[in-house]
């Protein structure tokens, strides 16, 4: 949303970024699958019981898809053929994405405040409940204003809300020396103060993803400026579910230091590589799926819009990168009560404002176990768990039902305004089917296409009131 000299020119998409990494991962997956498929045998003494069970299931599935080809040679040939199909589909998907005619044309609303590379955008109308939206530092702010017919902020502006968006912008020489204290106690709080001046009183503070984590600190520090707090897929407990994986992410920090030394920031492609570690095969899978879509369809346009946003990243200041990887992922400082902003320990229990905590049940970027503790720690918080993913909740095809309407209803309750009621969503049970990895699981894809996939239910309710003080830091987890 901010002008920057390195912006890609027309018809010059660079995604998926980093392209070489994703192509290398796909090639590695194919080559390993081809090589090992020739030696797969349920009778192998080196095969674990679980692996043998998976192999047996795959062979039965392969029999469904290709009757009469149950021999080891036939099975191996099917795997090789499938790798070739998937590799071709990946290249076709990337090519289709790069030549797709969609381009984002939404004009920016007026900027009512600016500092450095950051701006405060006013989506109006003036009589709506003022809400300051704070996005992540590592992605562009316009995910909340993605496209025509798919903009959360423009939808909210038509339903009793006055959205104000903090566009962090491209970090310049000053921002590249920022710490998290500079961002929270400095720029964010000054943007918050500007929003209050504009609105004539305290505003609702809403943070998305990493922006939500920062918003917790700002709401605690400046209760005089905040009338309500909305946390949308905001990470808090970084060791929830898989602490070993979090520590592995921390272990990449020494490898990143040489690159950060050059520009005092973590380059976009290295940042994207860290996200790729969360789901190494996910990007290739979604591009293969995109290749099968009718390119003129609304689903294809939404895919391109989201990929354009994902590939239009922002470098992260070096000190902020170190704090996130070392303190958040490594020491879990947020959940342990040791994360400090300007010397003050950030304590969700001290947040006095009424709060709305949205935890998407299908989030693979911020696991629900990481975001859910905020609803327990913040007094009288409302917990909303839509059946959606991290990005889909805010900008997907079902985002209006998953988040926009419930959020508008909650905000309207703060302002005493009549807003659209939340929709009645049918609850569905989460899937109990175990996941499988590897090329061979797709050998029988055609035979399994008709199988449905259930989703986690949506739930909104008051969270349990926590103790008035944070738990004492634990020495071991």
Q: Can you give the pLDDT at residue 425?
A: 39
- What pLDDT shows up at residue 441? 39
Establish if 436 belongs to a structural domain.
Answer: no
Reading phi first (left if > 0) and then psi (alpha if -120 to 50, else beta), residue 161 is in beta
Q: Give the predicted TM-score (pTM) of the model.
A: 0.82
Could you tell me the CATH number of the domain that includes residue 115? 3.40.50.1820
Find all residues with CB under 8 Å of 254, minimum gap 6, and list them: none
Residues ≥6 apart with Cβ < 8 Å to 231: 206, 207, 212, 215, 216, 355, 356, 357, 358, 371, 374
pLDDT attached to residue 63: 67
Question: What's the rounded Cα separation, in Å, for the pair 426 and 431?
Answer: 15
The secondary structure of 211-257 as a DSSP string is HHHHHHHHHHH-TTTEEEEEEES----TTSS-HHHHHHHHTTHHHHH
**Number of C-alpha atoms within 13 angstroms, CB side, residue 62?**
26
In a domain, 469, yes or no: no
Task: Provide the pLDDT for residue 40.
Answer: 58
The answer as to whether 236 is a domain residue is: yes
Determine the pLDDT at residue 77. 79
Closest CA to 37 of 370, 438, 445: 438
In a domain, 473, yes or no: no
Q: Are residues 155 and 300 in the same domain?
A: no
Same domain, 46 and 63: yes
**Residue 131 parent element (H or E):** strand 129-134
Total structural domains within the chain: 2
Could you tell me which residues come within 8 angstroms of residue 284 by beta carbon, excluding any fewer than 6 positions away?
Answer: 22, 25, 26, 29, 86, 90
Specify the pLDDT at position 444.
37
Q: Which domain range does residue 147 map to?
A: 111-260+316-418+456-462
Cβ neighbours around 114 below 10 Å, total? 15
Query: Which of 283, 314, 345 is the endpoint of a domain?
Result: 314
**Which pairing describes strands 265-266 and 226-232: parallel, antiparallel, or unpaired?**
unpaired
Longest dimension (CA), the chain: 75
Q: What is the pLDDT of residue 61?
A: 66
Q: Is residue 251 part of a domain?
A: yes
CA distances from 412 to 291, 408, 424, 472 (A): 41, 6, 18, 36
Burial class (CB in 10 A: 0-12, 13-18, 19+), 308: buried
Indicate if 79 and 131 belong to the same structural domain.
no
Q: Specify if 246 maps to a domain.
A: yes
| Sign of the C-alpha dihedral computed for residues 231, 237, 239 and 240 taken in this order | negative
Structure tokens at 66: 């290709």
Contacts of 334 (CB under 8 A, 6+ apart): 213, 235, 236, 237, 238, 328, 346
In a domain, 445, yes or no: no
Q: How far apart are CA 382 and CA 375, in angstroms?
A: 7
Q: 79 and 221 share a domain? A: no
* 66: Cβ contacts below 8 Å, ≥ 6 apart: 74, 78, 443
Q: Are both 169 and 74 inside the same structural domain? A: no
Please check whether residues 116 and 207 belong to one and the same domain.
yes
d(CA 323, CA 319): 6
For residues 159 and 66, membership in a common domain is answered with no
Instruction: Establish if 343 belongs to a structural domain.
Output: yes
If asked whether residues 62 and 119 sit together in one domain, one would say: no
Q: How far apart are CA 141 and CA 156, in angstroms?
A: 16
The backbone torsions φ and ψ at residue 362, rounded to the nearest 5 degrees and listed phi first, read: -110, 25
- 157 and 69 part of one domain: no
Angle subtended at Cα 436 by Cα 433 and Cα 441, rounded to the nearest 5 degrees: 115
Instruction: Give me the tens of pLDDT residue by residue for the chain, a chain 477 residues long.
Output: 545 555 544 447 888 999 999 999 999 888 887 777 666 555 555 556 666 666 666 666 666 666 655 566 676 777 788 889 999 999 999 999 999 999 999 999 999 999 999 999 999 998 999 999 999 999 999 999 999 999 999 999 999 999 999 999 999 999 999 999 999 999 999 999 999 999 999 999 999 999 999 999 999 999 999 999 999 999 999 999 788 888 888 999 999 999 999 999 999 999 999 888 878 889 999 999 999 999 999 999 999 999 999 999 999 999 999 999 999 999 999 999 999 999 999 999 999 999 999 999 999 899 999 999 999 999 989 999 999 999 999 999 999 999 999 999 999 998 655 555 444 433 333 333 333 233 333 433 333 343 343 334 344 554 544 333 433 333 333
Question: Distance between CA atoms of 413 and 362, rounded to whole angstroms?
Answer: 27
Q: Distance between CA 405 and CA 402 in Å, rounded?
A: 7
Q: Residues 6 or more apart from 108 whose CB is under 8 A from it?
A: 1, 121
On whether both 274 and 130 belong to a single domain, the answer is no
> Are residues 308 and 332 part of one domain?
no
**310/323 same-domain check:** no
């Amino acid at each position: 949303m901010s002008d920057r000299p390195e912006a890609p020119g027309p018809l010059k998409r660079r995604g998926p970024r980093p392209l070489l990494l994703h192509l290398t991962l796909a090639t590695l997956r194919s080559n390993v699958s081809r090589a090992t498929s020739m030696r797969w045998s349920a009778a192998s003494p080196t095969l674990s019981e679980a692996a043998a069970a998976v192999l047996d299931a795959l062979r039965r599935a392969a029999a469904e898809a290709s009757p009469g080809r149950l021999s080891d040679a036939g099975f191996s040939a099917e795997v090789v053929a499938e790798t070739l199909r998937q590799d071709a589909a990946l290249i076709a998907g990337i090519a289709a994405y790069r030549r797709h005619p969609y381009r984002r044309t939404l004009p920016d609303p007026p900027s009512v405040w600016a500092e450095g590379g950051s701006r405060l955008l006013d989506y109006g109308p003036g009589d709506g409940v003022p809400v300051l939206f704070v996005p992540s530092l590592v992605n562009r702010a316009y995910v909340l204003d993605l496209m025509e017919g798919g903009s959360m902020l423009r939808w909210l502006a038509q339903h009793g809300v006055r959205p104000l968006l903090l566009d962090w912008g491209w970090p310049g020489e000053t921002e590249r020396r920022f710490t998290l204290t500079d961002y929270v106690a400095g720029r964010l709080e000054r943007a918050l103060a500007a929003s209050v001046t504009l609105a004539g009183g305290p505003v609702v503070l809403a943070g998305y993803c990493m922006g939500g984590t920062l918003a917790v600190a700002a709401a605690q520090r400046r209760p005089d400026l905040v009338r309500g707090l909305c946390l949308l897929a905001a990470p808090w407990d970084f060791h929830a579910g898989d602490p070993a994986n979090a520590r592995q992410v921390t272990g990449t920090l020494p490898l990143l230091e040489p690159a950060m030394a050059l520009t005092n920031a973590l380059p976009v492609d290295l940042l994207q590589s860290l996200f790729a570690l969360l789901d190494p095969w996910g990007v290739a899978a979604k591009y293969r799926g995109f290749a099968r879509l009718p390119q003129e369809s609304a689903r294809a346009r939404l895919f391109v819009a989201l990929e354009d946003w994902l590939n239009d990243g922002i470098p992260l200041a070096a000190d902020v990168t170190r704090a996130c990887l070392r303190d958040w992922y490594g020491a879990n400082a947020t959940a342990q009560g040791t994360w400090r902003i300007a010397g003050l320990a950030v304590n969700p229990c001290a947040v006095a404002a009424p709060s709305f905590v949205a935890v998407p049940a299908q989030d693979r970027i911020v696991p629900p176990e990481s975001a859910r503790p905020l609803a327990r720690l913040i007094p009288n918080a409302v917990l909303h768990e839509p059946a959606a993913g991290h990005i889909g909740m805010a900008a997907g095809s079902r985002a209006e039902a998953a988040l926009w309407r419930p959020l508008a209803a909650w905000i309207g309750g703060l302002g005493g305004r009549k807003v659209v009621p939340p929709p009645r969503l049918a609850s569905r049970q989460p899937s109990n089917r175990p996941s499988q990895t590897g090329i061979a699981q797709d050998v029988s894809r055609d035979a399994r296409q008709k199988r449905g996939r259930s989703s986690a239910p949506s739930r909104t309710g008051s969270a349990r009131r926590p103790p008035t003080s944070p738990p004492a830091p634990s020495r071991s987890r």
